[in-house]
Amino acid sequence: MKRFIKEKGLAFFLIAAVLLWLKTYAAYVIEFNLGINNTVQQILLFVNPVSSSLFFLGIGLLFKKKIQQTAIIVIHFLMSFLLYANIVYYRFFSDFITLPTIMQAKTNGGQLGDSALSLINPLDIFYFIDTIILIAVAIFYNRPTETTTKRPFKIVMGASILVFLANLAVAEIDRPELLTRSFDRNYLVKYLGAYNFTIYDAVQNIKTNSQRALASSSDVTEVENYIKANHDKPNAKYFGKAKGKNVIYISLESLQTFAIDYKLNGKEVTPFLNSLAHDDHTFYFDNFFHQTGQGKTSDAEFMMDNSLYPLSQGSVFINKAQNTLQSAPAILKSQGYTSAAFHGNYKTFWNRNEMYKAIGYDKFFDATYYDMSEGKTKNYGLKDKPFFEESMPLLKSLKQPFYTKFITLSNHFPFEMDEGDTDFPAGETGDSVVDHYFQSANYMDQSLEQFFNDLKKAGLYDTTIIVMYGDHYGISENHNDAMAKVIGKEVTPYENAKLQRVPLFIHVPGVKGEKSDKYGGDVDVMPTLLHLMGVNTKDYLMSGSDLLSPEHREVIPFRNGDFVSPKFMKANGNYYDMGTGKLLEEKSVDPNVEESVKKELEMSDKIVDGDLLRFYKPKGFKAINPSDYDYTNHHPKTSESHTTSPKNSDSE
């Protein structure tokens, strides 16, 4: 064997393969929370980088003597870079990079800043030391003997395939139907590895893109039958009570439910929102869960406007802007509604300038309508207070009734505040992200109170439904130690799932509200709102369930296939009693619940991936033509010196 390695020039290759293997395993253990539950999974985690290391580095053996080592070093570096990119991404999103997220980065190019930089640690040089070692070996030691045949390449490729198939076979035993059942990228990385996941992701992405081309009108039938069979009848007590009212949606950036009624050193973090949670004319839902995927804020927007689930990979706003949609702005347009979106960032971010046309927004007030001078912007765009203040004249200029949404930005990771923006104290957990969160949330709360007061002065408050929702989590699992101090208990997978609750407020003028403990999610808001406005949703293809209906469905799917319900929940593949948090055996959980979750996601995916709404024509609905919309601001407010993008990204 030693002679074969020496003669065939495989020594350098094997050094590179072993270094990449061990580094990848170290990253798995140090950086990722993959939920290793047994010895088999631990062994698979250790072994799964082997096949990828052999396969990809083996490609370098095809190169001739003069550049063989250079080729191996380049491949090794590219794989190290992919691993490190996943590490940085995972530190905030607790997820892995997919091809659609790379496309999102391209679309949102130039706006990645503090959010990414704050996740980089000087010790991360560790993930590139082995590449440096390889370069040193190549410089100071003789190059390998030139191979005269492709036999070493064939042997290495064969070995990599055998290792992968053995890995997959054992993984299938521990997790049957791994590649077909799993919505969760954690599972795929745990069992198959980060590099093999990238290949799987590429295949899935090609498959998804082909689904639209292959879809036909006959595919709508199954979806239509399923959705109509599960339609919730509106609550007669509330149906039509807000007919003809204006609508304002406010996306509460990164606000989680734990902040509501929370006190820090005796001071309420969100006193204004707390007052609304106990207001007689506001419906407040404290068991409301965000259902976003990799599209974060844009996913939440998509669900609010369309009552369909986002993609399992990437953002609908980036990848499906060409789809035909039957959104709330489009439905209300036939009733004389004007629609507009307000956002203190530039219109190309998250591809909003294209997606809003597909949704049917008449106007889009982006950063060019606001004063983006230094001091008024923070990380991701305009600060919330000047954003709402400068939005009021634009809002008042709209023809009523209107359907509008406001996307706030200030309460965003890493949550640091500029001096003078708030005098609220920071937390004392020792984690700067969590500690600054309380200050940032308080600043947003102040801006909302200011906006409500301005609506009252403008005479709009009593004629407008105001819907406010937390768009997604703000504090990731990487800060669980600090969050344990905040909530006063260990953040187990069960507690972490409960932390995915975000507040939902629906203020309806003239209608008595209440605090509700019903379980709900993002897709449920649109049918709830339309029923309040007297629009029956039975003829539309929506995934959501009216939160005010007596028939409301309280099983809430997450994009990765997990779910919550009043009785039990699924988190990271395990089942828990929702009341006690006790771990349950799978056999004790009603299998129909899991099947219904899978079916809900599947039906929505058919609509979105196949663009099926182009084949579906509800009675009285006029389809949107995106070419009818133009969001060009011919009189931008910003001066020449202030027309550059905000410093950093709204990773949203």
- Write down the domain spans for the chain: 2-211, 218-552+614-626
Which pLDDT score is estimated for 103? 63
Tokens of 232: 């919730």
Question: To the nearest whole percent, how much of the chain has pLDDT over 90?
Answer: 63
What pLDDT, in 10s, does the model give residues 25-57?
Answer: 999 999 988 878 789 999 999 999 999 999 999
The count of C-alpha atoms lying within 13 angstroms of the C-alpha of 530, restricted to the half-sphere facing its C-beta, is 30
Mean pLDDT is lowest, of 2-16, 284-298, 418-432, 638-652, for 638-652
Name the band, by pLDDT with cuts 50, 70 and 90, for residue 317.
confident
CA distance 325 to 359: 6
Which pLDDT score is estimated for 584? 92
pLDDT at 568 over 70: yes
CA distance 402 to 335: 10
Q: Please give the CATH superfamily to which domain 218-552+614-626 belongs.
A: Alkaline Phosphatase, subunit A (3.40.720.10)
The mean pLDDT value for 349-362 works out to 91
How far from the centroid of its chain's Cα atoms is residue 532's Cα?
A: 28
Average pLDDT over the chain, rounded to whole? 88
The mean pLDDT value for 417-422 works out to 87
Which pLDDT score is estimated for 35? 74
CA distance 186 to 178: 11
Which pLDDT score is estimated for 4? 47
What pLDDT, in 10s, does the model give residues 144-169?
Answer: 555 556 788 889 999 999 999 999 99
What pLDDT, in 10s, does the model give residues 523-554?
Answer: 999 999 999 999 999 999 999 999 999 999 99
Which pLDDT score is estimated for 77? 96
CA distance 394 to 400: 13
CA distance 95 to 271: 33
Q: Burial, 543: exposed, middle or buried (Cβ in 10 Å; 0-12, 13-18, 19+)?
A: buried
Which pLDDT score is estimated for 104? 57
CB-based contacts of 355, cutoff 8 Å, min separation 6? 298, 302, 316, 317, 321
Predicted TM-score (pTM) above 0.95: no
The answer to whether the bond into 393 is cis (omega within 30° of 0) is: no
Single out the catalytic residue among 24, 208, 297, 464: 297
What pLDDT, in 10s, does the model give residues 430-469?
Answer: 999 999 999 999 999 999 999 999 999 999 999 999 999 9
Which pLDDT score is estimated for 501? 94
Q: Is 297 a catalytic residue?
A: yes
Which pLDDT score is estimated for 633? 84
What pLDDT, in 10s, does the model give residues 165-216?
Answer: 999 999 888 877 777 655 467 778 889 999 998 888 888 777 767 878 888 8
> Strand order of the sheet with strand 338-343?
363-365, 338-343, 402-407, 246-252, 464-470, 504-507, 282-289, 515-521
Name the band, by pLDDT with cuts 50, 70 and 90, for residue 509.
very high
- The radius of gyration of the chain's CA atoms, rounded to the nearest angstrom, is 26
CA distance 312 to 560: 7
pLDDT at 107 over 70: no
Are the C-beta atoms of residues 564 and 574 closer than 8 Å to each other? no
